[in-house]
Amino acid sequence: MTKKCWEELQCLREECPVKKNREDYCWLSESRICVDGQTRDIRERLHQCCRDCPHFQKTLERSTGRRLTDQVMAETVLKLLEELGGFHAELTASNRQLSQKMRELAILNEATKALQTTLDLEQVLHIVLTGVTAAQALSLNRAFLLLVDGDRRSLTGKMAVGPGGAEEAFNIWNDLQKSPRSFLEMALTPYRQVQGNVLVTQLVKKLSVPLSDQQNILVQTMNAKKPLLVHDASITPGAAELAGLLKVNSFILAPLVAEQETLGIILADNAVTRMPIRSDDVTLLEIFAGQVSAFIRNARLYQSLKDKVKELQHSQEKLLKAERMAAVGEMAAVLAHEIRTPMVSIGGFVNSMIRERPDDPKFGQQLRIISSEIDRLEGVLTDTLELSRFREPELVSESINDIAGRCLGVLRSEFDRQNITVEADLAEGLAPVWIDRHQFPQVLLNILKNALHAMPLGGHLSVRTWLDARQDLVISISDTGPGIKHQDLEHVFEPKFTTKRYGLGIGLAVSKKIVESHRGSITVSSAEGRGTMFEIRLPSGGQAPA
C-alpha cells in the first residue's frame, strides 16, 4: 500500500490533522505548519518533498481517467496557481524596485558623466544638488550644500536647489510636465541661468558653523563621516535650531568625504511634499555623496590653482609695470634735466632783464610774455614728470578728518602769516575711507597751497567734510581769492594749465589722477572775484577695493 506523506516523512505525530483523514493529501492541506513546527508552504513542499515523494508521483500518475484523481489534480493545480499568483505579485514588486534602482543607478551614472565635463566649482555643486532633487533621481524636495572653508575653521553654506514653497514647486513640476527635460539637461544648465532657488539660496547663505562647535549636528555628522536621518528634530539633540531655520521637522545629512578628508555636507529635506524620507533615500544619498565628493574636491583644487595663477599673473603684471615705470622714470628724469636747465637759463635771464628795466617801453611787454611762457612750460614739465612717476595707490583705512586736520596743521603758520582765517567743519562719526596715506594728503596740500597763493593779502578758507545722499564722502576746500576765469575753468586739471607752485607741490593734473585712482572724483567751481571751491568725492567705508 502506498505510503502517505507523513509515513514517507516518518512524521508520526498523532496530532497531525492530515493523518486522521487518510483521504486528505498533505500538500493540499490548509495547514501550512506541521504540528511539529515545520513550515510546509506548498511551493516549498512541492519543491523539496513532494516531487521526490513516491506517493505524490503515484497520485499524479493515476490522474488520467480517474475522477477522484482529477479532482485532486485540479485542486493541486489551483493551489499551485494561487501560490504562483502570490509569487508573481512578489516578483513583480521586486522587478519594480529593481527597475527603480536601475534608474537611480543610471542617474548616478549620468551625474558622474555630467561631473566629468567640468571643473568649475559652481557648476559641480549645481550638478550635485540637481542629482539630489531631480525627480528622475533622488527626488528629494530641497538640497543644501555646505563646504568647509579653505582655512578649515568653519562650515559655510554655498549653494541650494529647490522650490521656495508649494506654489513654486507646483509651477516647476507643471513646467516639467509640459516641457520634460532630462536630468543631464537640468544638471548642465549653468547655475546662474537657473530660475528660482531664491529662497533656498537665502537660507543656505545663513548657514555658517565653526568647526570647533562640536555640539552642532552638522559638525557631529561630518566628524562621524556617516549620514544621519533626523526623523523628528524636536527630539533629536542639536537638530532643533537647524530645523527651525529650514522650517522642517525631518531632514537628512550626508557628509562629503574624499580620501578621508571631510569636504562638507549635503542637507536634504521634503519641505514641500512633507513625505517621509525613507531608509532607501539615506542609502542612495550616502552612495551619491560618496561618488561626488572626489569631484567636489577636484573642483576646489582647480579653483585654488586658478586663484594662484591669477595672483601670479597679477604680480607679474605689477612687476613688469614697475620695470616699465622705472625705465620711463629714468628717461623722464634725464629729459627733465636736459629741458629744465636751459629753460631756467632763459627764464632766469629774462626775469633779470625785467628786474633791471621794469618799465622798459620797447621790450618790457615782450620780456614779460617770454617770462610767462617759460613759467607755463615749467608747469607742464613738472606735471608731466609727476604723471610719469605716478604709481598705483596702496590703500589703507584712514579717517579723512584726521588727514584734513594734519594738512591744515602743516600750513597753519602760512595761513597765519597771510592773515587767512581758517574754518574747519568736519562731520563727526564718518566711516574711515581707503586711501594711500602718502598720495592723498598731497592732493589736499596742493589745493590748500593753491588757496594760499590765491589769497596773498588775506581771506577766508573753509574746509568741510560730510556724507552726501549717495553715502559718498565729500571734502570741500573753498577760498575767497580772485577765482578762476570762466574760460580757464575747464582746463584746470590739464597738465599744461599754469599754476604757481612754490616748493615741491604737485599739480592739479596729478591731483585728479590720484583722486581717480582712489575711485573718487574731483570738481572745481569758481566765480571771478568771489573765490574757488574744490570738491573731492570718495566712496566711503566698506571693503578695500579690489
Which runs of consecutive H residues, i.e. helices, occur in 139-182? 166-178
Return the residue of 77, 235, 275, 333 that touches other proteins, per CB under 8 A. 333
Which runs of consecutive H residues, i.e. helices, occur in 357-399? 364-388
Return the residue of 28, 49, 336, 489 that touches other proteins, per CB under 8 A. 336
C-alpha cell at 404: 584734513
**Please, which of residues 229-288 interact with other proteins by CB under 8 A?**
none
Taking Cα atoms as reference points, which of 439, 472, 451 lies closest to residue 408? 451
Of 20-28, 181-189, 348-356, 476-484, the segment contacting other proteins by CB under 8 A is 348-356
Of 29-37, 266-274, 276-284, 370-378, the segment contacting other proteins by CB under 8 A is 370-378
Of 14-22, 257-265, 375-383, 446-454, the segment contacting other proteins by CB under 8 A is 375-383
**Please, which of residues 402-441 interact with other proteins by CB under 8 A?**
none
Residue placing its CB nearer to other proteins in the complex, 68 or 344: 344
DSSP string, 141-190: SEEEEEEE-TTSSEEEEEEEES-SSHHHHHHHHHHHHHS---HHHHHHS-
Residues 378 and 505: their CA atoms lie apart, in Å, by 13
HEC secondary structure over 336-363: HHHHHHHHHHHHHHHHHHHHHCCCCCCC
DSSP-based three-state secondary structure for 18: helix
Q: How many residues bind other proteins (CB under 8 A)?
A: 29
Is residue 322 within the footprint of other proteins (CB under 8 A)?
no
Is residue 345 within the footprint of other proteins (CB under 8 A)?
yes
8 A C-beta contact, residue 230 and residue 246: no
Residue placing its CB nearer to other proteins in the complex, 226 or 438: 438
Is residue 170 within the footprint of other proteins (CB under 8 A)?
no
Is residue 344 within the footprint of other proteins (CB under 8 A)?
yes
Of 32-40, 205-213, 422-430, 499-507, the segment contacting other proteins by CB under 8 A is 499-507
Is residue 341 within the footprint of other proteins (CB under 8 A)?
yes
Residues 6+ apart with CB under 8 A from 117: 188
Residues 333 and 501: their CA atoms lie apart, in Å, by 19
Closest CB 375 distance from other proteins, rounded Å: 6
Is residue 504 within the footprint of other proteins (CB under 8 A)?
yes
Of 175-183, 380-388, 390-398, 523-531, the segment contacting other proteins by CB under 8 A is 380-388
Q: Exposed e or buried b for every residue in 230-259, given b needs 16+ CB within 10 A?
A: beebeebebbeebbeebebbbbbbbbbbbe
Closest CB 381 distance from other proteins, rounded Å: 9
DSSP-based three-state secondary structure for 34: coil
Question: Which residues here bind other proteins, judged by CB under 8 A?
Answer: 329, 333, 336-337, 340-352, 355, 371, 374-375, 378, 382, 385-386, 389, 502-504
